[in-house]
Chain A
Amino acid sequence: MAAADFSRLIAAAADTIAAHAEELTALDQAIGDGDHGLNMKRGFEAVRAEADAFATKPLPEALKAVGTKLVMTVGGASGPLFGTLFMALGKDLSAVPDRNGLTAALGKAIEAVAARGKSQPGQKTMLDVLQPVYEALAQGQTAGEIADAADKAAEATVPMKALRGRASFLGERSIGHMDAGARSTALLVRAVAEAIEGN
């Protein structure tokens, strides 16, 4: 991937998180501790600030650098979770991945996020978006279809009962609200899908 393309992907990701920070915080306030939007924004702005330097590295190292930066700057459980997603993608992707390579790496990255959060799909978390995105990718869907699948998957967390994270303390009362991590994951998927499609 050209350095300019990588910087553009990072900018698209940081833009969408910044644009939706208040919405993410509101979702997290409903069933969590209300810091998700601000934390994610701080993390992605820190990544944006160094995106050009990261972009000079080969793709795997660039993704690891993004993940490490998120871990160090987010300041909540989202830091290690989203950080692990990017670090694990960097670990398993080749420098110039094709769709099969990306699908395989995302599969491994989902396992790494699940291990980090001691969670699995169905528990009202970011995994509930990542897993359908992986399946859409594996089925050969277009970037637009994958982004739509991510949005639909985030919506599908609304009727779920939270079994992990702060929201799980609410038990049945977590039902009826979208999971903030699922929403931010869907936002990132759409931003990246649209940036790649625009190439």
Chain B
Amino acid sequence: MSNVGIVIVSHSPLVAEGTADMVRQMVGDEVPLAWCGGNGHGGLGTSVEAIMDAIDKAWSEAGVAILVDLGGAETNSEMAVEMIGEPRSHRIVVCNAPIVEGAVMAATESSGGASLKEVVATAHELSPS
């Protein structure tokens, strides 16, 4: 699939899955989508390994946009991108946007065939800084 992939990373698997449900309702199967949540040991948190798996699952030649909730999700996502390494790391962006709105908006943009840059810009518009 050539549409930009979307990865949702929350501390809570329930939040991640629920966000993914909302994305699917909007874009169906037109966008590669994966989510992960929890520390891998049954608690709240994020796991670098699970994030790397989710990126693989949602991988698209057009790139992948990652939506995160709180700080640790961002730090672990950035670590996962670094561990995936070049050349794929150049086509993965951790977005600065609210997780639910960002994921739905980014996926909607992606479903129309937008580039990774456009998808990320759409998500970032939600976080005026």
- Secondary structure at the A interface, as helix, strand, loop or mixed, is helix
Q: Enumerate A2-31 residues with CB–CB distance to B below 8 Å.
A: none
Give every chain A residue within 8 A of B76 (Cβ-Cβ).
Answer: 76-77, 79-80
Interface contact A75-B47, CB-CB below 8 Å: yes
Shortest A21–chain B CB gap in Å is 14
Task: For B43, give the chain A residue with the smallest CB separation.
Answer: A35
Interface contact A80-B75, CB-CB below 8 Å: yes
Give every chain B residue within 8 A of A39 (Cβ-Cβ).
Answer: 39, 45
Give every chain A residue within 8 A of B48 (Cβ-Cβ).
Answer: 71-72, 79-80
Task: Choose among A38, A76, A81, A164 the residue that contacts B46 (Cβ–Cβ < 8 A).
Answer: A76
Report the interface size for chain A: residues with CB under 8 A from the other chain.
20
9 new A-B contacts, CB < 8 A, other than A79-B79, A116-B75, are A39-B39, A71-B48, A72-B47, A72-B49, A76-B46, A77-B71, A80-B48, A116-B78, A166-B71
The interface of chain B, by Cβ under 8 A from chain A, is: 39-41, 43-49, 70-72, 75-76, 78-79, 83
The interface of chain A, by Cβ under 8 A from chain B, is: 33, 35, 38-39, 42, 71-72, 75-77, 79-81, 83-84, 116-117, 164-166
